Structure 1
């Protein structure tokens, strides 16, 4: 298909498709003539993945590029690809990560992970994110919420086992790679949305009729 058809089929505007091509997010089509190229189903699938990572996953263009480069690296182990996806969704770090309060929260995050027996890299972005949350809760005087950490960990560990098993069952590397990315980035969006819905439901039940 021509680039105009790719745009029409995907629902992504032509200028945006061209932008993705310039940025290297979308691979070039097969040249068919002067300033002409042919695009296929793989381009359409990649375009939909890009939009999902940007619109649903809320990744930046730089984050999407980082993830897609890892996806296209056939030599990269799946575990490393998972780490790349985690880095891309890590967000902006707190400015106080060098303070004693944050360092204490980081040590606490490490103890939580060690207590679960989880095999996690000491520089995992999620460890810093956990420390960010712990530090903020302590600053706000909401330490009682930290009593729920084991409940969070238990629920997410069970979910992670199911997610990884589902992806590994696909067999085909391309499908597994895409599953790792979508499961990490989009799965997080699903989890966040469902948690909010469950909170609303529970709150409504506690509040009573009306």
Structure 2
């Protein structure tokens, strides 16, 4: 676990008030920022450099909430090199059509655009290019979640809570959504293909076999 001195040295945490040449006092503001840093690092998966940039936007009084959200969102996702094969070209075109179709206010330079195109291209390479047919279903769910995230932000009152909530809703909210999605996948799989369903099918088959034997006996 990185130390407080490390966070101060990296510019993530403001220096404490010196109480002696070798000791510093940290107040509740420091503790709150420290909890945010560790959450972004351990749960959000952000690198130290990315956290420094996000917190820089949070601490900038000239930075709007929209820009703070963008600073946080831009640090999420992959950092891989963009491909230029046929699948990548097709995937980018699909993403562009999605953005236009939904009327989303975003720029093509948004890292999420390339992240989505990269994921779709990878699916195309393994024979699942038809996954693009689900993009609008995903977009419907994503818009609902986005409204919920920003609705949470809107309920905060103090300015310092607002900017912090934007970061939490963006970075940690993604971790929450991904975990909930995995839980929903397990449930959906169990209902469609799980052992309980197979057992129910077996019981029905046994009943059918008994019924046939009874009819033959008559």
Q: Output the TM-score relative to the length of structure 1.
A: 0.87
Unpaired runs of at least 5, structure 2 = 200-218
Unpaired runs of at least 5, structure 1 = 1-12
Matched, 1:139 2:145: no
Which of 181, 186, 191 is the equivalent residue of 1:195? 181
Count of equivalent residues: 196
Q: Judge conservation of contact 2:72–2:171 (CA < 8 Å) in 1.
A: yes
2:53 is matched with 66
Q: Deviations over 1:103-157 (max 9, x none)?
A: 3322221110110111112211111111111111111110222211111000110
1:149 is matched with 135
User: In structure 2, what is the Cα distance between the partners aligned to 1:29 and 1:145?
Assistant: 52
Q: Deviations over 1:70-102 (max 9, x none)?
A: 111111011111111112113222x34344542
By how many angstroms is 1:32 displaced? 3.2
Q: Which moved more, 1:163-172 or 1:55-64?
A: 163-172
Poorly superposed stretches of 4+, deviation over 4 Å: none
User: In structure 1, what is the Cα distance between the partners aligned to 2:57 and 2:85?
Assistant: 33
2:106 is matched with 120
1:4 is matched with none
RMSD, matched Cα = 1.7
Q: Judge conservation of contact 2:95–2:116 (CA < 8 Å) in 1.
A: yes
Q: Deviations over 1:19-77 (max 9, x none)?
A: 11111111101233423322100100111111100110111111111111111111101
Q: Judge conservation of contact 2:120–2:131 (CA < 8 Å) in 1.
A: no
Name which one, 1 or 2, has greater alpha-carbon Rg. 2
User: In structure 2, what is the Cα distance between the partners aligned to 1:136 and 1:53?
Assistant: 28
Which of 84, 87, 98 is the equivalent residue of 2:74? 87
Q: Judge conservation of contact 2:82–2:114 (CA < 8 Å) in 1.
A: no
The 1:119/1:96 distance shift into structure 2, 3 A limit, reads closer
1:9 is matched with none
User: In structure 2, what is the Cα distance between the partners aligned to 1:146 and 1:178?
Assistant: 34
User: In structure 2, what is the Cα distance between the partners aligned to 1:104 and 1:131?
Assistant: 9
